[in-house]
Amino acid sequence: MRYSEKALIPFFMVTEDGTLSLANLVNLVQQVSERQLAGAASQTEMVKRYNIGWVITQSQIEITRMPRAEEHVTLWTEATSYNRLLCYRDYGVLDEQGNQLVIVHSTWVMMDLGTRKIVPIIDEIVEGFGAKKLTKVERLPRLPRFEDPEGERKYWVRYFDIDTNHHVNNVHYFDWMQDALGYDWMRTHKLVSANIKYEREVEPGTQLTSQYKVVREGGKTETYHQVRVGDTVNATAHLQWA
Amino acid sequence: MRYSEKALIPFFMVTEDGTLSLANLVNLVQQVSERQLAGAASQTEMVKRYNIGWVITQSQIEITRMPRAEEHVTLWTEATSYNRLLCYRDYGVLDEQGNQLVIVHSTWVMMDLGTRKIVPIIDEIVEGFGAKKLTKVERLPRLPRFEDPEGERKYWVRYFDIDTNHHVNNVHYFDWMQDALGYDWMRTHKLVSANIKYEREVEPGTQLTSQYKVVREGGKTETYHQVRVGDTVNATAHLQWA
């Protein structure tokens, strides 16, 4: 059950090169799934009844071309399948000709809002979106940790990074990861894909360290990232660049 | 000549309390004037011919109520008048019943994109929007500087703060100013008005200091802010809170 909305990319969501930032791409597509959920009265009622919330655990993003400022696009989303613990949701961005500019695969877990613990997926909730039950667990590509960063920057979690659930909006990890690479890197490389794993939330008011490693092999340029607070790794990512 | 657009406030633009952040408010309304300019073919042509750009110098924002996530609003703008050096532009946000939620008065100068110097307003450009010529200079309320901050925080200008003109998007000053007040302040105060003066741009890659002073007088709570890089004051602001 695919849900879509048309959108016009605002000026203030693009970077220096005139294309949508990765963080804003994810803001825009996740907004569409929030609206799919909010639009289904039965969903809102069930989510309240079970007192659960959705938490993203990983996303794998493939970019053919990032949309430009003032470009008309279609944003779509679909909860494709689920198993005992994970729900798989895809997102995409189409241009006016219907070409797929970006595709996002993501995995979500259900959290009990009372205990704040992960709970098994409640069939009744996801079946309303046409997601098919799987017996096996499909995993998105794994991400390595590393102990020898090539560079790092420290960031404070700011007041405006916090959403209405009193959590850091997950898109800020992308800003911390990409910004740590520096202006020169960002000005001379184009993002081709991103795979991010959210492991543990960064708390409001903490200072985090965004570390990276560059790997150049077989004509490919890749960066590995981790956001950590002390010894805890909060998120890891693998980005590919052209 | 008033120009308006309908908008639906996205989840990701609101703060913890579910209402639009000041920075995103300004992003949204300025987007509407960008579209008014872009929509007038004669404007685009003239701006190119004269090689000029618009630079904001001050804005005075009065907030009756900040729009909420998923609220349907109308955003409007109008270039009301101009004199030799300044153009006056108003913005507003209306709710579905037509109540004015926010009103913004702002002043703009014209910059020669070649020399990067301020030039006198070119009548031909602003008259297309119905702005009336004034002989006197109307000033928005003045802002004091101060040498005895009550608190301060340091921020680096990040890659994603830079817009397609290679300048810091002016809304980031609000984030730096408000964030410096801290979580406790932001969680216990509601913004009523903001008056900001942009004096000198913060350069990409620099570290800035966001300083504030709190004044409580006659039942009013006010904060004064300045963003500085070394001895240079880049922006000053006066915020009122309830």
Mean pLDDT along residues A21-34: 96
Residue A115: Cβ-neighbour burial (10 angstroms; 0-12, 13-18, 19+): exposed
pLDDT at B135: 85
Stronger pLDDT, B19 or B138, i.e. the higher one: B19
pLDDT at A23: 98
Four-CA torsion A164, A165, A170, A173, nearest 10 degrees? 80
Strand extents, DSSP E, chain A: 3-8, 52-63, 72-82, 87-94, 100-112, 118-119, 132-133, 151-156, 191-198, 207-217, 220-229, 232-241
Cβ pair B204:A186 closer than 8 A: no
pLDDT at A29: 97
- Under a CB-based contact definition with an 8 Å cutoff, are residues B129 and B82 in contact? no
Bridge partner list, B110: B54, B119
B39/A contact by beta carbon, under 8 A: no
User: SS3 for A237?
Assistant: strand
pLDDT in tens, A211-229: 999 999 999 999 999 999 9
Which residues are within 8 A (CB) of A153 and not within 5 positions of it... i.e. 6 or more apart?
Answer: A176, A179, A180, A209, A210, B156
pLDDT at A139: 79
Asked whether the predicted pLDDT for residue A40 surpasses 80, the reply is no
> Tokens representing A199?
């492991």
DSSP chain B: --EEEEEE--GGGB-TTSBB-HHHHHHHHHHHHHHHHHH-HHHHHHHHHHTEEEEEEEEEEEES-PPBTT-EEEEEEEEEEE-SS-EEEEEEEE-TT--EEEEEEEEEEEEETTT--EE---HHHHHTTTPEE-SS---PPP----S--SEEEEEEPPGGGB-TTSSB-TTHHHHHHHHHT-HHHHHH--EEEEEEEE-SPPPTT-EEEEEEEEEEETTEEEEEEEEEETTEEEEEEEEEE-
Mean pLDDT along residues B61-77: 97
Q: How far apart are CA A101 and CA B197, in angstroms?
A: 40
Q: Of A58, A171, A66, which Cα lies nearest the Cα of A109?
A: A58
With CA atoms as reference, the chain A residue closest to B178 would be A159
pLDDT in tens, B148-199: 999 999 999 999 999 988 889 999 999 999 999 999 999 999 999 999 999 9
Continuous segment of H or E residues that includes residue A11: none
Interface test with A, best of B8, B12, B19 (most A CBs within 10 A): B12
With CA atoms as reference, the chain A residue closest to B158 would be A179
Cβ pair B163:A11 closer than 8 A: yes
Q: How confident is the model at residue B216 (pLDDT cuts 50, 70, 90)?
A: very high
Q: How far apart are CA B94 and CA B102, in angstroms?
A: 7
pLDDT at A211: 98
Cβ pair B205:A186 closer than 8 A: no
Nearest to B34 among A11, A164, A183 (CB): A11
Q: How far apart are CA B119 and CA B125, in angstroms?
A: 13
Question: In angstroms, what separates the C-alpha of B80 from chain A's closest C-alpha?
Answer: 23
Tell me which residue has tokens 């037509």. B98
Asked whether the predicted pLDDT for residue B222 surpasses 90, the reply is yes
A-chain CB neighbours of B16 within 8 Å are: 159, 162-164, 166
Interface test with A, best of B9, B25, B75, B160 (most A CBs within 10 A): B160
Continuous segment of H or E residues that includes residue A18: none
Q: How far apart are CA B134 and CA B129, in angstroms?
A: 15
Cα–Cα distance list, B170 to A9, A11, B153, B229 (Å): 19, 13, 18, 16
Q: Of B54, B65, B61, which Cα lies nearest the Cα of B105?
A: B61
Residue A70 phi, psi dihedral angles, 5° rounding: 70, 15
pLDDT in tens, A53-96: 899 999 999 999 999 999 999 999 999 999 999 999 999 999 99
A11/B contact by beta carbon, under 8 A: yes
Tell me the ipTM for this assembly: 0.92
B14/A contact by beta carbon, under 8 A: yes
- Under a CB-based contact definition with an 8 Å cutoff, are residues A157 and A199 in contact? no
Cβ pair B182:A159 closer than 8 A: yes
Nearest to B31 among A12, A164, A186 (CB): A12
B29/A contact by beta carbon, under 8 A: no
pLDDT in tens, B183-193: 999 999 999 99
Asked whether the predicted pLDDT for residue A42 surpasses 80, the reply is no
pLDDT at B199: 93
> Tokens representing A239?
């980005």
A-chain CB neighbours of B204 within 8 Å are: 183
Lowest mean pLDDT among A1-5, B44-48, B69-73, B161-165: B44-48
Cβ pair A159:B14 closer than 8 A: no
* B47 alpha carbon, distance to own chain's centre: 21
With CA atoms as reference, the chain A residue closest to B165 would be A16
Question: In angstroms, what separates the C-alpha of A194 from chain B's closest C-alpha?
Answer: 17
Asked whether the predicted pLDDT for residue B98 surpasses 90, the reply is yes
A74/B contact by beta carbon, under 8 A: no
Q: How far apart are CA B146 and CA B211, in angstroms?
A: 9
pLDDT in tens, A121-179: 998 888 888 899 998 877 788 898 898 999 999 999 999 999 988 889 999 999 999 99
Which residues are within 8 A (CB) of A127 and not within 5 positions of it... i.e. 6 or more apart?
Answer: A133
Q: Of A178, A51, A180, which Cα lies nearest the Cα of A122?
A: A51
A-chain CB neighbours of B23 within 8 Å are: 160
Q: For chain B, how many residues are written?
A: 242
Asked whether the predicted pLDDT for residue B125 surpasses 90, the reply is no
> Tokens representing A127?
């079946």
pLDDT in tens, A177-195: 999 999 999 999 999 999 9
pLDDT at B179: 97
pLDDT at A32: 95
Lowest mean pLDDT among A98-112, A116-130, B76-90: A116-130
Tell me which residue has tokens 């205990």. A115
Taking only residues 115 to 154 of chain B, the set having a beta carbon closer than 8 angstroms to any beta carbon of chain A reads: 153
As a whole number of Å, the end-to-end CA separation of chain A is 34
pLDDT in tens, B29-60: 999 998 888 887 677 777 788 998 899 999 99
A-chain CB neighbours of B18 within 8 Å are: 164
